[in-house]
Amino acid sequence: MINKQDLLAYLHQIDRQLKKKVTLVAVGGTAMTLYGLKEATKDVDFCAANKDDFALISSIDKKIGGKFRLDLFSNGHIYILQLPTDYAAKSRQAKEMFKNLTVRLLSPIDIILTKTSRLNERDLEDIRMLVSKNRIDKNRLIERYELVKETYAGSDAAFQDRFEQVIKEFF
């Protein structure tokens, strides 16, 4: 498992290799660990703003011999759904500062939606933590779901069923 200190050390390694400004948005368990909502995560999940930054971060990860499994996404396409273009603007600035790297944390509502797209037991626990530690407005969550449901790459009916399960269980 990868704790917050491990994540920050990894990000400092990446930052030392950067020659230009790059923004990464932490998603999933990585975001939750950096928020302080989880003790640790099993892998490292980030979303790069564009394909060039995606390629750059991928190459740096290989160069530094990243000891963690890096799941890197691009342009708000996370797992099997595409977040609205404002996902980065709705994200929150991480407290840790770097020279060339800006780290943002996916908004709790967007984390819930990405976890709903898969919704296994670990995802349910994460959603439970997000709802209990944040003021998640049910109506805002539903509005956001309406924006992303069209981009879901899997079964629309399955995603809707999982979302309804989340609403029923947590609201």
pLDDT in tens, 126-135: 999 999 999 9
pLDDT at 171 over 90: yes
pLDDT in the model for residue 102:
98
Q: 95-98 contacts: CB < 8 A, separation 24 or more? A: 96/8, 96/11, 96/34, 98/11, 98/12, 98/15
Cα–Cα distance list, 91 to 35, 64, 103, 152 (Å): 12, 27, 10, 20
pLDDT value of position 10: 97
| Cβ count near 70 (within 10 Å) | 17
Q: Taking residues 79-101, what's their average pLDDT?
A: 95
pLDDT higher than 80, residue 104: yes
State the sign of the Cα–Cα–Cα–Cα dihedral 63, 29, 103, 75. Answer: positive
Average pLDDT over residues 5-21: 97
pLDDT band at 66 (very low <50, low <70, confident <90, very high): confident
Decide if pLDDT at 105 tops 90: yes
- The model's pTM: 0.95
Domain ranges in the chain are 2-107, 111-170
Average confidence (pLDDT) over 158-168:
98
pLDDT recorded at residue 106: 98
Strand 70-74 with 81-82, pairing: unpaired
Percent of the chain with pLDDT over 90: 95
Residue 46 has pLDDT above 80, yes or no: yes
| Total residues belonging to the chain | 171
